[in-house]
Chains A and B, each alone.
Chain A
Amino acid sequence: MNIHEYQAKSIFHDSGIKVVKGIHCLTVEDALNAYEELESKVVAVKSQIHAGGRGKGNLYNPESGELVMEGGVKIAFSKEEVREYSTAIIGNRLVTKQTGKEGKIVNNLYIETGCKIEHEYYLALLVDRENKSVLVMASTEGGMDIEEVAENNPEAIHKIWADPLNGLSREDSMSLAAALGLSDKSQEELASMLDSLYAMFTERDCSMIEINPLVKSESGEMIALDGKVGFDDSADFRHPWRNELRDFSEEEDVEIRAHEYGLSYVKLEGNIGCLVNGAGLAMASMDVIKLYGGEPANFLDIGGGATRESITAAFEIILEDKNVEGILVNIFGGIIQCDMVARSVIQASAEIGLAVPLVVRFSGTNHVKGKEVLDQSNLNVHTTNTLAEGAEKIVSLTRGDA
């Protein structure tokens, strides 16, 4: 789960990480009041969406598609400019390089006090899967995409790792600060900030904290001028407070519904729907469809605890996608029994009124019985023994050459 910048900064503030004063707004009116309240001549007017690249994104009218404003983050020098920018942002569609071309409607705005910047840095904490510990990564190239820096100027990136049992060492933090070219006071400030960030990361089960830019102010203070925070969903059970931060408009409705049924679903661009047990096999099924010249419409893992209800829901979700012209069911029965899946497929097809070709491949637990159940039904279904045969069949059926 990801959160907005204004929410991240509120957590930063609570965790002892320096931020500048800002106010979360929902309307232009709010924004004007915020400007008065902040008593700062210069403010930043910032679109709040979960995707990055907001500053360089463009705002479009969601109905007409007309360009409304270039840049989703603006510096305003007067109340009039705050009005102008917030009017251009709220309710419009922000397209950045991370949103895809459909963009995101901006419902939230953050008005923040201006800050005199001496230098911008990049700072991030994440779990390093190879080293199996929390990695702190920093660069002198603030405001830039870290991937670009890694590509073009890798020596500008400096890394330290926390000890899983003892945390970050002060020595490592100070050497990281020195590597960034910080002076005495700012070095100490950064080291303390890292302690606070590491505590926040572990106490709140973050999956990522990214501050880009982290700035050194003219007075040498280290301030988080942006904040991107992701949480490890597996730890939701110990953080009930997360519910209040969740912005459902930022999440794919269908992926949330799938999750409620214990399904794992990702929509893709193709025309062949897939229903598979197991994440690896689900990916492999997509790959094989592609190998046989088709395009998968989705990733869908029904999980080890699938039931008739969840399989029916899976069919409904697949068929909501209007691009779907055929479905491949690929089950390798382990805990899941193929005959249960067969009966669920028959029931779901009847309930939904399945109108596209269906190919089913069963292997493993009760596969013979599963095939019998399908053969004895009135369902128009093709059964195959291997994944390759199944993929080949559904590709040819959707092309109409069967």
Chain B
Amino acid sequence: MSIWINEESKILIQGITGNQGTFHGTMMVEYRTNVVGGVTPGKGGQKIKLSEKEVPVFNTMSEAIENTNADVSVIYVPARFAAAAIIEAANSFQQNGGGLIVCITEGIPILDMVNAVANIEKCPDVRLIGPNCPGIITPGDQGGCKVGIMPGFIHAKGKIGIVSKSGTLTYEAVAQTMSVDEGQSTCVGIGGDPVNGTGFIDCLDAFEKDPQTEAIVMIGEIGGSAEEEAAEWAAKNMSKPIVGFVAGSTAPPGKRMGHAGAIISGGKGTAEEKFAAFEKAGIYVARDPSEIGNVLLKALKEHNLR
């Protein structure tokens, strides 16, 4: 098992004919992801070649879902159109049995996201991951299901779940699990925007219920209080061990560190507060991301899993 996506998932690409959509769509197909089509308004009826596979392009999400039975959509459309793409996908999935939306786009206006998230909440069978994230991947025996922009080849099928606010730091966490011969069940990038869809707690909950996952690596960063809330929740609800790291111990207050949400404001949202919350919740803390692998191994051994 895995969480939310697996090798049978049928994937649509919103913005499939754009540079990003075609490039990453090709990489997804090369990882053997089951891409079944895409959407670009005004280009419906065309076919597009992604690596060795040719898939249909549709004008709307409703049309695409009805024709392909897709249950996952990944969004590569420019920031100014992304919130509308999320809402269209949400409504279409809700009318067709539900689905998962993964929004990669960076730089979506925050009030657009407030609006999009409020719309998603009216669609109980729809989940949003992102925006401003690398996506989600479930490695398989050969290739797997890769919905996003992460380099597929660094992953291997295994028993560790990864959830992270950051892109490349997620890859670092993947490499760390590999350094101690552990593969991944599913890796989720929840994104670095202040207003997003799926949060840490959703992921922890899903990993706790997933029989394949034995332990979780959780990567946070400065800003907001999602890490603290997740830690508090985990202390009460998680039986599986968690390894945590928080980026930004050295970040100065009041400065945005690349991600729109990565800012210490009014003295709140510091890495120290988050590390302290992790420790209080019994989460195994790695202060150095290069130590995540070793800390993970220790956690697995202490839980008699290795």
Contacts and interface: CB of A to CB of B under 8 A. Distances in A.
Interface of A: 127, 129-130, 132-134, 146-147, 150, 163-165, 202, 205, 207, 232, 234-235, 237-238, 264, 266, 268, 276-284, 286-291, 296, 299, 301, 304, 332-335, 363-365, 386-389
B179 to A, nearest CB: 8
Given A283-B257, A299-B251, A205 B290 contact: no
Interface stretch (B41-49, B164-172, B208-216): B164-172
B77 to A, nearest CB: 14
Contacts of B257: 264, 266, 279, 282-283, 299
A276 B168 CA distance: 10
Given A147-B267, A279-B258, A299-B257, A288 B290 contact: yes
Given A165-B115, A207-B110, A334 B259 contact: no
B266 A281 contact: no
B252 interface: yes
Interface in B227-264: 229, 245, 247-252, 255-262
A266 B164 CA distance: 23
Given A127-B110, A266-B255, A386-B290, A280 B165 contact: yes
A262 B141 CA distance: 37
A134 B289 CA distance: 35
A148 to B, nearest CB: 10
A129 B258 CA distance: 17
Nearest to B154: A364
B129 to A, nearest CB: 15
Given A266-B255, A280-B221, A280-B247, A388 B261 contact: no
Nearest 6 pairs between A and B by C-beta?
A280-B166, A279-B258, A278-B168, A388-B290, A280-B169, A164-B118
Interface string B90-117: 0000000000000000011111111101
Contact of B249 (A202, A237, A268, A287): A287
Interface string B180-211: 00000000000010110000000000000000
Interface of B: 79-80, 107-115, 117-119, 134, 149-151, 153-154, 164-172, 175, 192, 194-195, 219, 221-222, 224-226, 229, 245, 247-252, 255-262, 266-267, 271, 287-291
Given A334-B150, A387-B289, A284 B247 contact: yes
A276 B167 CA distance: 12
Nearest to B224: A129
Contact of A129 (B168, B252, B261): B261
Nearest to B271: A287
Contacts of B110: 127, 205, 207, 232, 234-235
A14 to B, nearest CB: 19
B171 A332 contact: yes
Contacts of A284: 166, 169, 172, 245, 247, 289
Contacts of A163: 118
Nearest to A127: B110
Most buried by B among A207, A334, A387: A334
Given A235-B109, A335-B149, A132 B114 contact: yes
A322 B255 CA distance: 21
Contacts of B267: 147
Nearest to B252: A268
Contacts of A290: 249-250
Given A130-B226, A278-B169, 18 more contacts: A127-B110, A127-B111, A132-B113, A133-B118, A205-B109, A232-B110, A235-B110, A279-B257, A280-B262, A283-B221, A284-B169, A287-B271, A296-B250, A332-B168, A364-B154, A364-B171, A388-B291, A389-B290
Contacts of B149: 304, 334-335
Nearest to A202: B111
- The CB with the most chain A CB atoms within 10 A, among B115, B168, B219, B267, is that of B168
Contacts of B154: 364
Contacts of A232: 109-111
Contact of A387 (B108, B115, B290): B290
Contacts of B249: 286-287, 290
Contact of A264 (B258, B271, B288, B291): B258
A271 to B, nearest CB: 13
Contact of A283 (B111, B151, B175, B250): B250
Contacts of B115: 164-165
Nearest to B261: A129
B34 to A, nearest CB: 22
Contacts of A363: 171-172, 175
6 contacts: A130-B224, A130-B226, A147-B267, A234-B108, A279-B221, A280-B169
